[in-house]
A and B are shown apart, each in its own frame.
Chain A
């Protein structure tokens, strides 16, 4: 999806970098990367380093960085096209999968708006109304206090134990991260992915993707772009 935009704007000075936030590593991300056949850097972030560095709490999320290495738009939902949510359903989807896709189709996806803004920035640079001032960038980045940092520490510890094969012991840390930063979808989805296909119900966790999205409201899963 990003490949097309990259091809259009690369000659005008834009690069796209995609990063898979996947504790399961390259093997989990590879099928998608190979299907996309990217000409841009397509990286894998097993340790969710970008969550901490930029304050990313859901995917897909985009951050704009200008030629001098300055962030001009902090993390926000980033779609280059409307996803075909039902694409991977297969012949005989479960009830849970059907429910998931029905919810996904109601999520706020502002691909046209986002792509138009990227084009405007590439053309006008700092004069683009989408390139934000430093104060605005910092103010729009996620709040982070001790509680969010404690959530990050629990998540990192859980992911570490999971990697070492102690998935059972990781659960308590993931749950603590979920409790301390409830609106971090990355923490939730990554943890659920270890115990249940399609982020569905499990013995380990009290909730699942579809239930949480219904609880929060489909319109709040991806906040509206402020642009």
Chain B
């Protein structure tokens, strides 16, 4: 996740990462991680620390990048396939979850 400011609004965070900030902590998919602070005083630093997210700041360009959470120690935290929306080569968006009801082999490749 790329940010132009370290003061990320919580609704933006939720939309980008799926982590919802509640009184009991940061929650996603039935897992809640205590944050040790009230929801109103949650900062990016606290979140990154508690959720095991990498956090990088580029001083020259004043851009921040936040890595994926790593609370389970594995890239897959759940066997529920994450939904995503990506375009085809002509820019037409495709929603992965639209394939429910079929078996899918998802194949990542690259031109490089």
Please say whether chains A and B are actual partners in one complex. yes
User: With A13-B102, A152-B67 as given contacts, are A53 and B84 in contact (CB-CB < 8 Å)?
Assistant: yes
Q: Contact check, A143 vs B73: say whether CB atoms are below 8 A apart.
A: yes
Q: Total A-B pairs in contact (CB under 8 Å)?
A: 234
CB distance from A52 to the nearest CB of B (A): 5
Q: Contact check, B74 vs A62: say whether CB atoms are below 8 A apart.
A: no
Interface size range on A against B: 35 or more
Selected contact of B81 from candidates A16, A31, A65, A166, CB within 8 Å: A65
CB distance from A170 to the nearest CB of B (A): 10
Cα A156 to Cα B64 with chains together (Å): 10
Cα A137 to Cα B96 with chains together (Å): 20
Selected contact of A41 from candidates B67, B73, B80, B88, CB within 8 Å: B88
Please, which residues of chain A bring their CB within 8 A of the CB of B68?
A: 52, 144, 149, 152
CB distance from B97 to the nearest CB of A (A): 7
For chain B, what secondary structure do more than half of its interface residues adopt (helix, strand, loop), or is it mixed? loop
Please, which residues of chain B bring their CB within 8 A of the CB of A13?
A: 102-103
Contact with A along B66-106 (1 / 0, CB 8 A): 11111011111111111010111111001011011111111
Residues of B whose CB lies within 8 Å of any CB of A are 1-2, 52-56, 58, 60-61, 63-70, 72-82, 84, 86-91, 94, 96-97, 99-112
Residues of A whose CB lies within 8 Å of any CB of B are 2, 13-22, 24, 26, 28-34, 41-45, 49-50, 52-56, 59-72, 74-75, 78, 118, 121-122, 125, 134, 137-139, 141-154, 156-157, 160-161, 164, 166, 169, 173, 176, 186, 189-190, 192-193, 199
